[in-house]
Chains A and B, each alone.
Chain A
C-alpha cells in the first residue's frame, strides 16, 4: 500500500501479485467460469488502481478490494441477466476448459452447483456466494455488498430459499460419475 501511495516503480506489479489470486477466485465464484473472467479481473484491477488513492486506512484494504470485486461481478451478472431475459444470451454458464479443479466428482458437483447459482438474480447470487462460498460473516458480507446488515441477511435468506427450490428441481448431486464426457475416467 505504501509503495502504491508513493508511486514507487513496481508498485502496480506488487499490487497485482498480491491480490490477483483472491480477486480472480472471488470473481470466478461469483460469476462462474466464464470466458470473460480474465477481462473481469482486469476490469477489477483497473477500478482498484484508479480508486486506491481514496482508501484512507490501509487496514481496510481487504474490505475495499472485496467491495470493488463485488461491484465488478455485479455489473457482469446484471449484464448477463439482462441478456438472458432479452434472449440474447441463452447459455446458462459459459464453461471453459478445466473450469473446476478437484476430483471428477467434485468437479461435477461444482458444475451442478454453478447451474443452480445461475438461476439466482445477481443480488441474491452475490449474497449467497459471499456468505456460503467465501464464508464471510454477516457484517463483512454486508460491507462487501454495500448494503445494511439487515438487507444482507434478507438477501442471504432469500437466496437460500431459492437455492433449495432449484436443488429440488435439479437431479440430486451425483455422488459418483462413471464416465466423463471428455473421455477421462474416474
Chain B
C-alpha cells in the first residue's frame, strides 16, 4: 500500500471516528457553563467600573468641597454713643441691631450663620440670604430659625416673646409645639401668650392631683420599636440606642425587653462589640425559650467568638 493511501485511510479513520456529536444534555451543560463564564467575565469589569466611578465621584466631591469650602463667620461690634444701641456686623453681610437695653450674645458662629441668645430686649436682624445660610435666635424656650430675611425679635421680662418678619420667612419653635410657626408675610407677627399666674392656693382648699398631660396619643411598644428601627436605618445610631435603652428600662427582662435587647445587640455590633455581645447574652439568659434566644446565641458564636459571652452562648446552644 502506498504511503499516500495509508495517510488517506488514516485521515478517514480519524474523521469517521470523531464525527459523532455529544449528547444534547452534555451540550446544554457546556452551553450553560459558557454563558455563566461570560457573565462572570462581565461582572468584574462592572465592579471595577462602579469602584472607579465611586472613586472619581469621591475625588470630585473632595475637590468641590475644598474649593467651595465655607468659612466660619466673623463679626464686629459697634456701639452708637448717641442712641446707646449696638450693631453687630457679620462677615457675610448680615447685621443685627440691639436696641438700647437689650441683652444678647452670640453663642455660636458657624458656616453660613450664627446662633444668638437673646436674654431681653429688642433685636432687629437682617440675614443676608445665601444658600446653606442657617441663623437662629434663641429667646427663652423659643427658637427663631431663618435662612435669609429681615425680622425683629423682642423678649420681655417674663416669657413673652414677639417675632415679626419684615422680609423672607422665619420659623418659630418652642418645645410645646408639634409644628413650628411659619411667618412668611411681611409684617406678620407671632407673640407668645403669657402664662397665667397661678392663683395663690386657698389655705383650706384641697388640691386635686392633676392628671398627666400628654400632647400625643400613647404609642404602642411596636411603634416605639419601629421608631428606633427607623433611627438605626437612617444612621442615627445614638438616637436609636437612646430610644431602645428607654424602652428597655420600661419593659425590663420580659419578652418585650428581650426584643429590645436583641435590637440593641444588633445596633452595637460594629461600634461596641463587647456591649453587643452582652445584649445578645441577655436575650437568651432572660428568655431562654423566647423566639430570639437561639438567634442571639448564634450571633455571639458567629460574630464574637472571642467575647466573654461566647462560652455561655455555646452552652446554651448545646442545651437547646
A interface with B by C-beta (< 8 Å): 12-13, 16-17, 20-21, 24-25, 28-29, 33, 38, 41-42, 45-46, 49-50, 100-102, 106-107, 109-110, 113-114, 116-117, 129, 132-135, 160, 163-164, 167, 173
Of the candidates B3, B11, B33, the one whose C-beta lies within 8 Å of that of A132 is: B11
A17 to B7, CA, bound (A): 33
Task: Output the least CB separation between B11 and chain A (Å).
Answer: 3
By DSSP majority rule, is chain A's interface helix, strand, loop, or mixed? helix
B50 lies within 8 A of chain A by Cβ? no
Name the interface size band of chain B: 20 to 34
Q: Are B8 and A20 in contact (CB under 8 A)?
A: no
Closest A-B pairs by Cβ, 8 of them: A110-B17, A132-B11, A100-B17, A101-B20, A109-B13, A164-B3, A16-B31, A113-B10
Q: Are A46 and B34 in contact (CB under 8 A)?
A: yes
Q: Are B33 and A42 in contact (CB under 8 A)?
A: yes
Q: Binary interface profile of B, 12-25, with partner A (CB < 8 Å = 1, else 0)?
A: 01111111111000
Task: Output the least CB separation between A159 and chain B (Å).
Answer: 9
Of the candidates B10, B27, B31, B33, the one whose C-beta lies within 8 Å of that of A167 is: B10
A107 to B16, CA, bound (A): 9
Task: Output the least CB separation between B188 and chain A (Å).
Answer: 61
Residues in B neighbouring A117, C-beta threshold 8 A = 14
User: How many contacting A-B pairs (Cβ < 8 A)?
Assistant: 98
A131 to B41, CA, bound (A): 35
A33 to B14, CA, bound (A): 11
User: Can you report 9 residue pairs joining A to B where beta carbons are below 8 Å apart?
Assistant: A38-B33, A42-B30, A49-B38, A101-B19, A102-B19, A107-B17, A110-B16, A113-B10, A160-B7
Residues in A neighbouring B17, C-beta threshold 8 A = 100-102, 106-107, 109-110, 113
B320 lies within 8 A of chain A by Cβ? no
A134 to B31, CA, bound (A): 24
Closest B residue to A101 by CB, please name it.
B20
Task: Output the least CB separation between B55 and chain A (Å).
Answer: 26
B interface with A by C-beta (< 8 Å): 3-4, 6-11, 13-22, 27, 30-31, 33-35, 37-38, 41
Residues in A neighbouring B11, C-beta threshold 8 A = 132-133, 135
Q: Are A46 and B7 in contact (CB under 8 A)?
A: no
Contacts known (A25-B18, A38-B30, A101-B20); A12 close to B13, Cβ less than 8 A:
no
Contacts known (A21-B21, A46-B38, A160-B7); A133 close to B31, Cβ less than 8 A:
no
A164 to B19, CA, bound (A): 24
Residues in B neighbouring A33, C-beta threshold 8 A = 18
A134 to B19, CA, bound (A): 11
Task: Output the least CB separation between A164 and chain B (Å).
Answer: 4
A106 to B21, CA, bound (A): 16
Q: Are B34 and A16 in contact (CB under 8 A)?
A: yes
Residues in A neighbouring B20, C-beta threshold 8 A = 101-102
A114 to B17, CA, bound (A): 11
Beyond the given A101-B18, A163-B10, please list 8 additional residue pairs across the A-B interface where CB-CB is below 8 A: A24-B21, A25-B18, A25-B19, A38-B33, A46-B34, A132-B11, A135-B11, A173-B9
Of the candidates B14, B31, B38, the one whose C-beta lies within 8 Å of that of A29 is: B14
A29 to B7, CA, bound (A): 15
